[in-house]
């Protein structure tokens, strides 16, 4: 049986702003968007939540719900700094850390030695140290798999610590409303409700074949999580050696400009994934599958890691020039980023000493 912790910071961007600007404390604060713009809310402070404001809501709507709210711009550099601070704390307990975003990560502490291997006490200490170092609160979920740990971290927010033990899992899942299942989006939740599945109990009552008929490949995942089974490993960024995104076209495409347009989007997606994992990549590979399934790749390794400022249009074009895209139709395009450098490794030793 594994021991998984999921850590998620509370009202992350908003909490950082309230920490750095005391005048925002105890007030409804909205990060991202402005009252009369078309932007959206990135997040809001807990004081703003009773008004019904939440992430991804149009800022104009948030303003109507709470005209007294303070709107501020996000400061991503600061959030990234804090994110690195919390990752460094986590790294003292395990190498198996899988960040999902700046404020969230899974930890597999199955073989950790602190507190005689008690995941609950380790989670408690991580929360305490995050508070000491960043003055921010985090919520932790502890269980024997990712699915349950992630749900648990949400249950006692803010500043929560919730444990779901193996013998509690089935009963817990039974009462869980279907939209709270991670991996069940709005559209799927809607579909499940239309099938009479309201909660975990409803899901438990469906056969595997039924679920596969309605939800295809995801059917097995739903069948398993309804029974508290989730064997997905925690994959640390250290263990990933490349990140790929690809797309197969409904209709084959032909010609450099159509191709370039697609590749730019794939590149942006891949770069986003790499950045989320706190990695930097130096090699860009383009994959092309022609209409007849013949597949080629072209790559280039740069001296500097790629980032949003990299003149990638020229780079992608250079790679395309050595292919037959102008004469052969293409059914699939992909971009892979590799040759990783890890952001965490670059932290000077003197700084890490702070945590010893
Ligand atoms: N975020 C965003 N856009 C979204 C969702 C989130 O920009 N649609 C950003 C802002 C959040 C951060 O990511 O502060 C973390 O997202 P969470 O979903 O964990 O939300 P919070 O940490 O803000 O609140 P909670 O306490 O509910 O976790
Ligand atoms: Mg959060």
Which residues does the annotation mark as catalytic? 104
Cβ of 42 below 6 Å from ligand 1: yes
Which residues are near ligand 2, the ion (C-beta closer than 5 Å)?
8-9, 12, 103
Cβ of 29 below 6 Å from ligand 1: no
Fold of 242-340: Dna Ligase; domain 1 (3.30.1490)
Exposure b/e, 267-301, CB count within 10 A at least 16 = b: bebbbeebbebbbbbbbbbbbbbbeeeeeeebeee
What separation in Å is there between the alpha carbon of 15 and the centre of ligand 1? Answer: 11
Checking if the pLDDT of 354 tops 60, the result is no
Of 37-41, 90-94, 207-211, the range with the lowest mean pLDDT is 37-41
What separation in Å is there between the alpha carbon of 223 and the centre of ligand 1? Answer: 28
Exposure b/e, 47-79, CB count within 10 A at least 16 = b: bbeebebeeebebbebbeebeebbbbebeeeeb
Atom of ligand 1 nearest to the CA of 10: 26
Structure tokens belonging to residue 158: 């803010």
Q: Is the dihedral of CA 152, 8, 270, 339 positive or negative?
A: negative
Give the pLDDT band (50/70/90) at residue 195.
Answer: very high
What is the Cα Rg of the chain in Å?
Answer: 23
Structure tokens belonging to residue 325: 């895209």
Angstrom distance (rounded) from CA 80 to CA 157: 22
Q: What is the mean pLDDT of residues 70-86?
A: 95
Checking if the pLDDT of 351 tops 80, the result is no
Distance from chain centroid for Cα 198: 26
Of 9-18, 87-96, 344-353, the range with the lowest mean pLDDT is 344-353
Cβ of 98 below 6 Å from ligand 1: no
Q: Which of 212 and 276 is assigned the larger pLDDT? A: 212
Q: What is the mean pLDDT of residues 231-243?
A: 82
What separation in Å is there between the alpha carbon of 242 and the centre of ligand 2? Answer: 27
Which range has the top average pLDDT, 133-147, 183-197, 218-232? 133-147
pLDDT tens across 41-69, in order?
A: 999 999 999 999 999 999 999 999 999 99
CB 320 within 8 A of CB 263: yes
Checking if the pLDDT of 206 tops 60, the result is yes
Angstrom distance (rounded) from CA 150 to CA 106: 8
Fold of 169-225: DNA polymerase; domain 1 (1.10.150)
Spell out where the chain has E strands: 4-9, 29-31, 43-44, 70-72, 97-101, 104-108, 138-143, 161-163, 242-253, 279-290, 295-301, 330-342
Give the pLDDT band (50/70/90) at residue 339.
Answer: confident
What are the boundaries of each domain within the chain?
1-145, 169-225, 242-340
Q: What is the mean pLDDT of residues 131-157?
A: 97
**pLDDT score, position 342:** 59
The chain-wide mean pLDDT, for the chain, equals 91
pLDDT tens across 243-296, in order?
A: 999 999 999 999 889 999 999 999 999 999 888 877 889 999 999 999 998 999
CATH hierarchy code of domain 1-145: 3.30.70.270
Checking if the pLDDT of 152 tops 50, the result is yes
| Owner of token pair 């995104």 | 245
Checking if the pLDDT of 122 tops 90, the result is yes
Cβ of 11 below 6 Å from ligand 1: yes
Quick check: do 1-145 and 169-225 share a fold?
no
- How would you list the strands of the sheet with 161-163, edge to edge? 97-101, 104-108, 4-9, 138-143, 161-163
């Amino acid at each position: 049986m594994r021991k998984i912790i999921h850590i998620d910071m509370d009202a992350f961007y908003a909490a950082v702003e309230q920490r750095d600007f005391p005048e925002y404390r105890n007030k409804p604060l909205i990060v991202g968007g402005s009252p009369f713009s078309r932007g959206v809310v990135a997040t809001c402070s807990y004081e703003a939540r009773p008004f019904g404001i939440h992430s991804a809501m149009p800022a104009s709507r948030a303003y109507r719900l709470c005209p007294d709210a303070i709107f501020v711009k996000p400061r991503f550099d600061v959030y990234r700094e804090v994110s690195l601070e919390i990752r460094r704390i986590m790294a003292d307990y395990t190498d198996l850390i899988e960040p999902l975003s700046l404020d969230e990560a899974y930890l597999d502490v199955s073989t950790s030695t602190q507190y005689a291997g008690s995941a609950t006490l380790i989670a408690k200490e991580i929360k305490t140290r995050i508070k000491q170092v960043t003055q921010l609160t985090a919520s932790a979920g502890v269980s024997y798999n990712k699915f349950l740990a992630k749900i648990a971290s949400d249950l006692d927010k803010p500043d929560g610590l919730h444990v779901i033990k193996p013998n509690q899992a089935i009963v817990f899942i039974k009462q869980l409303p279907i939209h709270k299942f991670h991996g069940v989006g709005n559209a799927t939740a809607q579909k499940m409700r239309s099938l009479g599945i309201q909660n975990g109990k409803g899901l438990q009552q469906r056969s595997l074949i039924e679920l596969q008929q309605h939800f295809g490949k995801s059917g097995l995942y739903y069948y398993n999580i309804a029974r508290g089974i989730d064997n997905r490993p925690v994959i640390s960024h250290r263990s990933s050696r490349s990140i790929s995104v690809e797309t197969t076209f409904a209709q084959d495409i032909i010609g450099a400009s159509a191709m370039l347009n697609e590749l730019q989007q794939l590149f942006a997606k891949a770069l986003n994934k790499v950045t989320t994992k706190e990695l930097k990549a130096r090699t860009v590979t383009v994959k092309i599958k022609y209409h007849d399934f013949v597949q080629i790749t072209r790559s280039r390794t740069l001296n500097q890691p790629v980032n949003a400022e990299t003149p990638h249009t020229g780079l992608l074009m250079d790679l395309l020039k050595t292919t037959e895209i102008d004469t052969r139709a293409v059914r699939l395009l992909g971009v892979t980023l590799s040759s990783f450098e890890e952001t965490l490794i670059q932290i000077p030793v003197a700084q890490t000493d702070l945590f010893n």
